[in-house]
């Protein structure tokens, strides 16, 4: 294997090790690499990122398989060698890497390491990966019998108690599948024709689903601002609103702005509020590209005092993001819990603040990309218990034909990574709507 094949794998190892040691997100780890990725071609950078993501996507099973192949646990100081073995196993089992390439590059990385401990274990790396290549099918079948192994113990225990063994196993399997690419169209009537022309699938009006392919900016219509990337679940709430042309809307915690763009495209007068300057820059870029208009405000949502009340207020509250593990497969492995006490307290405060800027007769929409009941229905119930002039406004399932099952008995929207599983699934998402009584 040439040195060219070694470089992206070395970067993937650095990214993965930094994620685990510092408990940071993969995106943050990759961005912090700086010069380390500067010498890579775009294709090599994409491979390094995909290798790290694939390893985390199957982290539990890969560690289980490694435990079957390594007779004695590696010492703590050899953790990076263990990560190297996991990267090699990911290539052998879950990527289209030739076995000799997966083995030889891993051995060469160990042999060329500046760390004497890793160099001394190059023979072990070679033996483990060669055996894995020879026993590939048997090892995969054995691991598949234990889908819950692909969740950390704390999360498996939590979800089994809340959702049951079978549903938790289905969620664990869903998290191993790379998410599709969903596009929301500025003009919904153009989506189906675009899908036919470019090999996509229109699962609901105004949206197109693709399998990820190349650079997003190279897809037809990107530069013309015809569409933006938005998971199918996150795009559902605005589609439930009906005609909102001319209505005033506050979009709280708005960046990077998928809902802001939808609302503006539907003719609403939108004020988009977020505390992150960097994320707001992305929102402005999306507004400029799509040639849509919204007022953008940098502020803490719970402290914002706009001096007016709105017909509609959207609160996309900070949450555990447990519904997005398919997109962030490292998430459960860098945490020991979801710190729900702090999050639910913040969500309650944000709901209280958001309610103050809803006009009488207006509506508040509370949403989170979470699977956790404490962040979803429990927060809606808590809000209703404390807001005397609020009433639940059940959503109408018929407005999202084919997804009627996503409306709960209480009238809330609830999606799961296993919703539309055969078509690629979607993010876990929750939405509740509240109406403010008129005086």
Q: What contacts 98, CB < 8 A, 6 or more positions away?
A: none
* DSSP classification of residue 313: E
DSSP string, 163-190: H-HHHHHHHHHHTTSPP-EEEEESSGGG
Q: What contacts 361, CB < 8 A, 6 or more positions away?
A: 435, 436, 437, 438
Instruction: Pick the catalytic residue from 253, 319, 367, 369.
Output: 369
DSSP string, 318-368: ----GGGTTT-TTGGGS-SS--HHHHHHHHHHHHHHHHTTEEEEEEEEEEE
Please say whether the beta carbons of 374 and 322 come within 8 A. Answer: no
Query: Cis omega (within 30 of 0) on the bond before 256?
Result: yes
Q: d(Cα 228, Cα 180) in Å, to the nearest integer?
A: 14
**Could you count the other beta carbons within 10 Å of the beta carbon of residue 142?**
14
Q: d(Cα 175, Cα 314) in Å, to the nearest integer?
A: 28
Q: What contacts 91, CB < 8 A, 6 or more positions away?
A: 51, 97, 101, 102
* DSSP classification of residue 209: E
In the chain, what's the furthest Cα-to-Cα distance? Answer: 77
Q: d(Cα 13, Cα 83) in Å, to the nearest integer?
A: 7
C-alpha distance from residue 377 to each of 313, 368, 411, 433 (Å): 18, 11, 11, 11
* 253 in active site: no
Q: d(Cα 366, Cα 237) in Å, to the nearest integer?
A: 10
φ, ψ for residue 413 (rounded to 5)?
A: -95, 130
Look at residues 228, 214, 231 and name the one whose alpha carbon lies nearest to residue 185.
Answer: 228
C-alpha distance from residue 261 to each of 27, 154, 187, 195, 296 (Å): 24, 37, 11, 20, 12
C-alpha distance from residue 229 to each of 182, 184, 272 (Å): 6, 6, 18
Active site residues: 369
């Amino acid at each position: 294997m040439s040195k060219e094949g070694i470089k992206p794998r070395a970067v993937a190892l650095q990214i993965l090790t930094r994620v685990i040691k510092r408990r940071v997100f993969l995106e943050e780890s990759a961005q912090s690499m700086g010069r380390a990725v500067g010498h890579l071609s775009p294709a090599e950078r994409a491979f390094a990122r995909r290798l790290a993501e694939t390893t985390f996507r199957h982290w539990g099973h890969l560690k289980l398989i490694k435990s079957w192949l390594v007779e004695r646990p590696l010492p703590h100081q050899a953790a990076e060698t263990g990560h190297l073995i996991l990267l090699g196993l990911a290539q052998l089992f879950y990527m289209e890497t030739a076995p000799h390439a997966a083995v030889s590059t891993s051995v060469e990385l160990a042999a060329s390491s500046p760390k004497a401990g890793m160099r001394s274990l190059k023979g072990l790396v070679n033996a483990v990966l060669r055996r894995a290549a020879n026993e590939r099918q048997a090892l995969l079948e054995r691991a598949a019998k234990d889908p819950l192994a692909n969740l950390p113990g704390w999360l498996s225990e939590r979800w089994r108690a809340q959702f049951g063994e079978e549903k938790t196993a289905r969620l664990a399997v869903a998290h191993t599948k790379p998410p599709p690419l969903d596009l929301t169209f500025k003009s919904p009537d153009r989506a189906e024709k675009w899908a036919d022309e470019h090999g996509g699938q229109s699962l609901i009006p105004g949206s197109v689903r693709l399998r990820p392919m190349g650079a997003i900016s190279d897809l037809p219509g990107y530069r013309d601002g015809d569409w933006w990337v938005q998971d199918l679940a996150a795009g559902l709430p605005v589609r439930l609103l009906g005609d909102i042309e001319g209505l005033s809307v506050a979009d709280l915690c708005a960046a990077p702005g998928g809902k802001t763009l939808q609302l503006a495209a539907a003719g609403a007068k939108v004020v988009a509020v977020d505390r992150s300057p960097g994320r707001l820059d992305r929102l402005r870029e999306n507004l400029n590209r799509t040639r849509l208009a919204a007022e953008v405000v940098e502020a803490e949502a719970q402290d914002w005092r706009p001096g007016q009340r709105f017909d509609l207020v959207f609160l996309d509250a900070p949450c555990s993001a447990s519904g997005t593990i398919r997109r962030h497969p490292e998430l459960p492995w860098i945490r020991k819990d979801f710190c729900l006490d702090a999050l639910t307290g913040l969500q309650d405060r944000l709901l209280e603040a958001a309610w103050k800027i809803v006009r009488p007769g207006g509506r508040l929409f509370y949403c989170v990309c979470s699977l956790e009941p404490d962040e979803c229905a429990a927060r809606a119930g808590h809000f209703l218990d404390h807001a005397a002039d609020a009433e639940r406004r059940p959503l109408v399932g018929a407005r999202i034909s084919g997804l009627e099952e996503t409306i709960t008995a209480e009238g809330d929207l609830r999606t799961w990574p296993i919703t539309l599983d055969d078509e690629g699934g979607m993010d876990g998402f929750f939405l509740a709507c509240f109406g403010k009584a008129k005086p």
